[in-house]
Chain A
Amino acid sequence: MLAIDAPPGQGKTHQPFVHYRCLCSSPGSSATASTKSSSSSIHDHEADSTAAGTSSAADMNIDNTAASSSSPAPSSAGALIVRASPTSHESLFSEHHNPRSTEEIFASGNSSDEHGSMSLSRLYFCDSCGEIRCPKCTQDEIVCYYCPNCLFDVPTASVKSEKHKCSRNCFECPICQNTLSVVSDDPDVSLYTPGMTTAAGQYHLSCNMCQWNSNEIGMTFDKPTGLAVQLQKAEDGLPDVKEFGRLKDHLEKYFRVHGLKQGLPSSLLSSIQSGTLQSLRYVSSTNHKAQQSDDIAHYTPAVQVVEDTENLEKLMSITSLDETTSMKQRLLQLQNQTYSTQRLQPQRIHLRIKKSRRCRSCRHILVNPEQKAQATRFKINLVALNQLPNITIAHIQPMIVQTVSTVILRFTNPRQEEAHVSLEAGDGANPNHGVRILSENFTIAPFNEVWEYEVGTLTAPPGQAQEDVYDKTANSTSIMLYITPVAPGEVKIPLFVTFSFKARKLQTETGSPKLPSQLVLSGAAGRDSMPPAPEVEYVDKKVSFWTVIGFGDAVPTLSS
C-alpha cells in the first residue's frame, strides 16, 4: 500500500534543499507563470508520491562548516538550494541605487516555485547594489587564455591564429578524448636530446586510457616536439580549406561588380510596382540586360572530393556499434565527419579561459581571478557564500501529511560583524503547507577564525543567550520549525529572510563597492581577524531575500 520500502532509485524522490532566490529572473511575470507551473509539477509529484517518502532520513545533517569553505561543493547528502531574491539594503551610501523596499521584495518572491533559485554557492552578492546576483544577472568577461592540460598561459595575440587550441604538445584521443602522450618506439630513449639522431617516425601519440595509438592511422613523428604545428598545418591544407579560399575569391568578384552597379535596384523596384513579385518578374525577363552581370559567373572549383563509397559497404557489413564513430567523435572532426574509426585524427586540446564577472546593473566587478593560469586566487571575490548567512538543514523528520514534523535550520554567519536575522514564512506557496517558526528573530555571532580550530560545542558569548533558539554554537544559530504538510508530494516553503548587520562605513561618498570587510581574498587569508579600529564608523545595513526550502516528499497519512 505504501511504497515506503520501495527500492531506492524507483520513482522520483525529492531531496531536501535550500535555495536562495535571485529576483532578477522576471519578478513580476514569473508570479503568474510560476503558479501554473508549480501546480503542474505538483501533479507529477502526486503521481509518484507513492514511491517517494523514503528520502527524508533523519540523518540529513548537512554540515555547515563544509559549506562555508570557499569551494562551492554541493553536499552529496542533498543539495542545499537557497535562492536569493532581491535584496535591498537601506544603507546611507547606496541610496542612489534605489534599493527595492522590503515590502516590494516580499510581494515579488512569495512563492515556493523554485524558478530562478539556486544554491548559495552559485550566487554572488553585489555590494554596491546590496542585492544577490545570480549568473544570469552578471556578465562574463575574458581574463586570460590557458591550456587546461599544460597550464600554460596563451597570449591573446596567438589565440586566434592557433584556433583556440594548444600549440604545445597537448592532444586528445580521437576515440575517448583523453589526453595523449608522446611516446617513442624505442623504449630506451626516454628523453629527447636535440643533438641525437633518431630514426624517422620514431615518435607517436598514445592514449593511456583506451590504448589508442597513432601508429594505427599511420601518424608518426620524427621529433617529439612541435607536433601541434604539424597537425595544424595538415588541417589547414585540407581540400575544404582550399575550396573555401577559391569560393571566397569567386564570390568577392561577384559582389564587387554588384556594388558598383547602380541600375539594379531600380529595375527591381519597377517590377514590384507592376504588381508581380519582384523576383519572379525579374527572372522571367530573360533578355534583360542586367541578367548577365547579375548572375554569378561560372565557377570552377579548386578541388574535387569524391564521396567515400567504401563507407557504405563497410557500414553494410558491420556487426557492432563500436565499428562506427559516435556522434561526439565525428563532431570533433568536422572536415569529414567520418563514419570510420580508422580515420579519426587526434585533436589539439582546446583552450579555456578565466573569466571575471560583473554585476549587470551597477557594472562593478564581482569576481576577478588572478591572471595567471596556475594561480587560484581571486583579486575580487564577492561570492554570496562569504557575505550572506548560510542556511542549512541540520535535522529533519519525515514529512507526513497533516502531521507536525520538526525541522531544524542552522544559520551560519560568514561575516565578522554580529548579525540579526528575522524570518517570515511566505504564504504564497502552492500548496500552502503549515509553517510555524519558533524563533523569528535571533542573532548570530560574528565569524572568527578561532572558531575553525575549536572542536566541540561553544555556547554563545555571555550575555546573549537569552534568545529562544534551539542551539547556538560559534558563528551559527539553529532554530526550530514546525512543518505541517497539507498535501502529499514535495514540501517546499518560501522563507523570507531579513539580515542586518553593522557594516563599516565607506570613507568616500561615492560608495565604492569595495568595503574592506567584503573584499575577500580566496581562502581564509583575506579574512583578516584584526579588530576594527575604533574610529571606523559603522552603518546599519539590511539585506532581505527570499529562500525556498524543500524538505523532501510528504507521504500520505497511514490512515488514508
Chain B
Amino acid sequence: MALPLSKIRDLSFKTSIYGIEERIVLDIGSCYLKCGFSGEARPRHFLSMFLSEEALDDYLGLNAISEQHVGHECGESCNLRSNQNCRGINPYEYAELYQLDMMRKNSSGQTEQERLQILEERLADYLNDVYFKYLLTDPKQRKVIICESPLAPIALKESIAKVLFEKLQVPSVSFTPNHLLALLTTGTATGLVIDCGHLETTVLPIYSSRPLMPFIRTTPRAGKFLSTHLKQLLKEKCPISLVDNPTDLRIIPEGMLTSAFLETIKTRLLFASPLIINARDNIGEDEMNNNYRDVSTSTEVNVEVWLHEEQARGKLAIPGWIRERASECLFNGDEDAESLTDVILETVSKVPSDLRRPMISSLLLIGGTAQLPNLQNRLLQEIRRSLQTNKRWKALSGLADAVRFLDDFTPAEASLAAAAAAATSTSAAGLGASSSSPMDVDPETSAPPRTTTRDKDPRKKKKDQPKKVYQSSGKVFMPNCRGWIGGSLVGSLKSSGPELLRENFTGTVPDWSTFTVVSASSGLYSSQSTSSSSTGLHQQQQQPLHSEGTLAASALSISY
C-alpha cells in the first residue's frame, strides 16, 4: 500500500466543501422528526408534530386565538383537507403522523386509502420543509438513510419512500433498523435495546450486530400510554381554581386536555420517582394514589390556563405526587399491556440461555419517553427488584447482579464517581430517608438511587483523572437522538442497510417481514452488494434474500 491506512481513512472521511457525500439521515417518529447530515454528532433539527410552541402559549396563556392554520406554519402546501383531518374538530389537537394500526378502519371512519393519502400529504409537507427550510439542501443530490423501527407499518415505509422518490426525487433510500443504529453509538454491537417511544415500547436483543428478530417484544406502555394516564389523573385529581375566586373549583374541560397540552405537562413537569413503592396485591387504585401522595416530596406546580366557557383565568394545580407518579403506569403491567420491566425480562428469558447474561448486562434505553428524568435509573431498580422478588422471574434471579445499562458506569467507575460526589454531596440522601410511611418501601432498592452517578461537573472530573480509560461514555448522547446518531455514524462510513434506488422503486420497500416480496426484486440488491456487503451490518438479512428468502420467511413465521 502506498498510503498508510489511516491516511486513506482521513481522506475518505474528509467532508467535501460542497459536500454531497454526506447523506441525509431521517428518523421519522410518530410525534417528532429528526433530520440532519451523516457524519455529524447530533441531528440538525428535531421537529415536532405537535402544535407550534407559540400556539401552545396562546392556549395556556390568555391571548385571543386565531383558528386559522394553528399548529403549523402555514406553508404553501397547506390545504384545508389535511388540516381538518389532522387535527379533528379541535384546532389545538395535533395528530400523530401515523398509528400502528393504520391499516385498519379507525373510529372516525376513515378508510385505509384515505388515511394513507393524508399520511402522504403530511409527509410531503414535512419532508419538503426538512429539505427546503431546515437542511437547505437539494434532495436530488443526496442519498437518504431512514432509521426505521422494525415494527413500523410497511405502508408507512412505502409512503416515506414514495414521497422521497416521487416528490423529492432523492437518488436512493436505505432503511436501517433503529435499534441496531442506537446500539452502535455505544461502540458495541451486542445488547438489549429498549426503544421507549410514543406509540409503543419495543425490546430487541441484538447479538454481534444481528437483530434477533424472533425475540422482539412490544408493549403499548410508552409515551402515548403515559399521556392517557396523565389525562385521567388530571381530570380526576386536579380541579381548576379561578384566579378571581380561588374557592371556585372546576373540573378541567375535556377540550383543554389536548395532546399538546399533555405533552407540555409531560415534557416539562413529569419525572420518574426514585422511590419504589411496593403495591400489595389487593390494593385499590385510589388507595395507591393516597400512598403516593403521602410519600411524595415534590412540589405542586401551578399552571395558568384560560377557561373558555367562563372567559376567565384559571389555575391548574398539579400536585407533586402526580408529577412523580404518573410514570408509574409504565412499571405496572397487566395482561393486556405488560410493564416495561416484564417485557424486558420476558425477552431476556426467551433468548438462548447463553445470551441472557450478555443481554441483561448491556441494556440500552432509547426513545423519546426515555427522556423522562430518572426513568432509566428507576427502570434499573425495577428490573433488579423484579428479579429478586417476583416469582415469575425466578429462573432469571441469578442475573440480578448483572443488570446494567450500557450508558451507566461500571461498578468500578461508579464507586470512583461516588467518591467524587461525596465531596460535593447533595441533598439526595434526604430523599430516600424521608420516606417513613405506612407502605412498605423496599429498603434495598430504594437505597439512594444511583447516587453513584452524582457528579456535578464532568469536565472537572476529567481533569482529575486525565489518563483514565473509560468503560462507558455515560450519557453523552441523548436517548431520543441515539437512533439518529447511529444512522449518522453508519452513513459517514458509507454504509447502511440495503439501498433502494429511485430507478428501481416500484412502490414496495424491503422489509424483514416480507422476504418473499424482496427476493422477487433481488436483482436490486446484487447491484448494491458491493457497497453494502462490506458493512457486515446486514448480511444476515441481505444474503438470504438471494437464495433462501422464502425459507427464512417461513422460519420467521414459525417462530412467531
State which of B170-178, B226-234, B283-291, B451-459 sits at the interface with chain A. Answer: B451-459
**Contact status B132-A142, CB under 8 Å:** yes
Chain A, Cβ-Cβ closest to B272: A312
Chain B residues whose CB sits within 8 angstroms of the CB of A40 once the complex forms: 108-109
CB–CB A258/B535 < 8 A: yes
Q: Find chain A residues with CB under 8 A from B297 CB.
A: 316
A247-B187, A255-B495, A304-B470 as given contacts; A284 in contact with B268, CB under 8 Å: no
In the bound complex, CA of A335 to CA of B478 (Å)? 7
Cβ of B15 within 8 Å of any chain A Cβ, yes or no, is yes
Instruction: Determine the chain B residues whose CB is within 8 A of the CB of A302 once the complex forms.
Output: 470, 473
Within 8 Å CB of B207, what residues of A?
279, 283
A377 at interface by CB-CB < 8 Å: no
Q: Which residues of B contact A337 (CB under 8 A)?
A: 371, 478, 480
Complex Cα spacing A522 to B89, Å = 39
Chain B residue with Cβ nearest A357: B76
- Is the Cβ of A115 less than 8 Å from the Cβ of B79? yes
Q: Are B540 and A311 in contact (CB under 8 A)?
A: no
Min CB gap B328→A, angstroms: 15
Q: B138 — which chain A residues lie within 8 A by C-beta? A: 141-142
What residues on B are CB-neighbors of A218 within 8 Å? none
Closest residue on chain A to residue B41 by CB atoms: A244
State whether B458 touches A239 (Cβ < 8 A).
yes
| Docked CA distance A69–B363 (Å) | 62
**Contact between B53 and A328 (Cβ–Cβ < 8 Å)?**
yes
* Interface flag for A512 (CB, 8 Å): no
**Per-residue 0/1 for A279-314: is the Cβ within 8 Å of any B Cβ (1 yes, 0 no)?**
110111010000100111001111111110111110
With contact pairs A160-B18, A243-B473, A327-B50 given, residues A33 and B303 touching in the complex (Cβ less than 8 Å): no
Asked if A247 meets B489 with Cβ closer than 8 Å, knowing A157-B17, A307-B475, A324-B269, the reply is yes
Q: Is B77 an interface residue (CB 8 A)?
A: yes
**B511-550 interface bits toward A, Cβ cutoff 8 Å, 1 = contact, 0 = none:** 0000000000000000000000111100110011001100
Report the contact-size class of chain A (Cβ under 8 Å from the partner). 35 or more
Q: Which residues of A contact B426 (CB under 8 A)?
A: 309-310, 313
Contact at B53–A326, with CB atoms within 8 Å?
A: yes
**A136 sits at the interface (CB 8 A):** yes
Q: Is A334 an interface residue (CB 8 A)?
A: yes
A200-B108 Cα distance, complex, nearest whole Å? 64
* A243 touches which of B209, B477, B492 (Cβ 8 Å): B477
The reply to whether A353 and B136 form a contact with Cβ atoms under 8 Å apart is: yes
Complex contacts, A321 vs chain B, CB 8 Å: 60, 264, 268-269, 301, 303
A317 CA to B469 CA, complexed, in Å: 36
Contact A305 B76, beta carbon cutoff 8 Å:
no
The answer, among B75, B371, B485, B548, for a CB contact under 8 Å with A273, is B548
B59 contacts the other chain (CB 8 A): no
Interface residues of A in 111-128 (CB under 8 A from B): 113-118, 122
For residue A44, CB closer than 8 A to chain B, the reply is yes
A-side contacts of B18, CB under 8 Å: 156-157, 160
Which residues of chain A have C-beta atoms less than 8 A from B447's C-beta? none
Task: Select which of B17, B108, B133, B212 is within 8 A of A280 by beta carbon.
Answer: B212
CA distance A242 to B438 in the complex (A): 49
A248-B548 contact in complex given A37-B114, A264-B536, C-beta closer than 8 Å: no
Taking a contact as CB atoms under 8 Å apart, the answer to whether A306 and B371 are in contact is: no
Beta-carbon contacts of B56-82 to A below 8 Å, as 1s and 0s? 000010000000000000011101110
A305 / chain B contacts, CB cutoff of 8 Å? 458, 473-476
Q: Which of B75, B79, B324, B548 has the most CB of A within 10 A?
A: B79
Q: Does A327 lie within 8 Å of B136, measured CB to CB?
A: no
Bound-state Cα–Cα, A117 to B79, Å: 7
Interface size on B, residues (CB 8 A): 136
A55 CB to nearest chain B CB (Å) = 13
Q: A307-B453, A313-B426 are in contact. Are A136 and B77 (CB under 8 A)?
A: yes
Residues of B104-151 at the interface with A, using a CB-CB cut-off of 8 Å, are 108-109, 111, 113-114, 117, 124, 128, 131-138
The docked-state distance in angstroms from the alpha carbon of A307 to that of B373 is: 10
Q: Taking the complex as formed, is B211 at the interface, i.e. its CB lies under 8 A from any CB of chain A?
A: yes
Taking a contact as CB atoms under 8 Å apart, the answer to whether A309 and B454 are in contact is yes
Closest B residue by C-beta to A284: B352
Contact flag A140-B128 (CB < 8 Å), given A295-B208, A304-B473, A334-B42: yes
Cβ contact within 8 Å between B189 and A301: no
Docked pose: A141 CA to B555 CA in angstroms:
47
Whether a CB of chain B sits under 8 angstroms from the CB of A272 is yes
Alpha-carbon gap, A116 to B79, bound state (A): 7
| Given A117-B79, A306-B461, also A315-B50 (CB < 8 A) | no
**A471 on interface, CB distance cutoff 8 Å:** no
CA gap between A309 and B409 in the complex, in Å: 14
* With A318-B301, A327-B53: A304-B462 Cβ-Cβ less than 8 Å: yes
- Is A6 an interface residue, CB under 8 A from the partner? no
Contact A295 B301 (CB under 8 A): no
Q: Please pick, from B136, B271, B555, the residue contacting A312 in the complex, using a CB distance under 8 A.
A: B271
Question: Chain B contacts of A303 at CB under 8 A?
Answer: 458, 462, 470, 473-474, 476
Residue B44 CB within 8 A of the other chain:
yes
**Taking A135-B77, A258-B536, A278-B552 as contacts, is the C-beta distance between A318 and B299 under 8 angstroms?**
yes
Given the interface pairs A142-B138, A309-B454, the reply to whether A279 lies near B544 with Cβ below 8 Å is: no
Q: Which of A141, A268, A304 has the most CB of B within 10 A?
A: A304
A145: CB under 8 A from chain B? yes
Q: Cα distance A115–B117 when bound, in Å?
A: 11
Smallest Cβ distance from A303 to chain B, in angstroms? 6
B415 interfacial contact with A, CB 8 Å = no
Whether the pair A247, B539 counts as a contact (CB closer than 8 A) is no
Residue B258 is within 8 A (CB to CB) of chain A in the complex: no
Write the A249-289 contact mask toward B (1 if CB under 8 angstroms, else 0): 11110111011010011001100110111111011101000
Known: A122-B76, A278-B552. Is A268-B543 also a contact (CB below 8 A)? Answer: yes
Least CB distance from A295 to B in Å reads: 4
From B18, B50, B417, B470, residue with most partner A Cβ within 10 Å: B470
Contact A301 B472 (CB under 8 A): yes
Shortest beta-carbon distance from B253 to chain A in Å: 14
Q: Report the bound CA distance from A294 to B128 in whole Å.
A: 40
What B residues does A330 contact at CB under 8 A? Answer: 267
Of residues 132 through 170 on chain A, the ones whose CB sits less than 8 Å from some CB of chain B are: 134-136, 139-142, 145, 156-157, 159-161, 163-164
Chain B contacts for A245, CB-based, 8 A: 41
The answer to whether A343 has its CB under 8 Å from any CB of chain B is no
The residue of chain B having its C-beta at the shortest distance from the C-beta of A140 within the complex is B132
The listed residue with most B CB atoms (<10 A of its CB), out of A142, A157, A311, is A142
The CB with the most chain B CB atoms within 10 A, among A250, A265, A269, is that of: A265
Separation of A210 and B328 alpha carbons in the complex (Å): 37
Using CB atoms, name the residue of chain B closest to A114: B80
Residues in chain A near residue B268, CB distance under 8 A: 321, 324-327, 339
Known contacts A136-B124, A240-B41, A325-B268; is-contact A299 B298 (Cβ 8 Å):
no
Bound-complex Cα distance A315 to B265 (A): 12
Cβ distance B519 to chain A, nearest Cβ, rounded Å: 13
B476: shortest Cβ distance to chain A, in Å? 4
- Shortest distance between the CB of A145 and any CB in chain B (Å): 7
Q: Which 3 A-B pairs have the closest CB atoms?
A: A299-B187, A259-B534, A258-B536
A37-B114, A259-B534, A301-B474 known, 9 other contacts, Cβ within 8 Å: A33-B114, A36-B111, A114-B79, A243-B473, A252-B9, A264-B536, A301-B470, A311-B373, A318-B269
Q: Can you list 12 pairs linking A and B with CB atoms under 8 Å apart?
A: A29-B113, A135-B75, A135-B77, A160-B17, A279-B540, A282-B208, A312-B373, A313-B426, A317-B299, A319-B299, A320-B303, A335-B41
Query: Which residues of chain B have a CB within 8 Å of any CB of chain A?
Result: 5, 9, 13, 15, 17-19, 39-48, 50, 52-53, 60, 75-77, 79-81, 84-85, 89, 108-109, 111, 113-114, 117, 124, 128, 131-138, 167, 169, 184-190, 207-214, 263-264, 267-269, 271, 274, 297-303, 320, 323-324, 352, 354-355, 371, 373-374, 409, 413, 417, 426-428, 431, 450, 453-456, 458, 461-462, 468-478, 480-481, 485, 488-490, 492-493, 495, 533-536, 539-540, 543-544, 547-548, 551-552, 555-556, 559
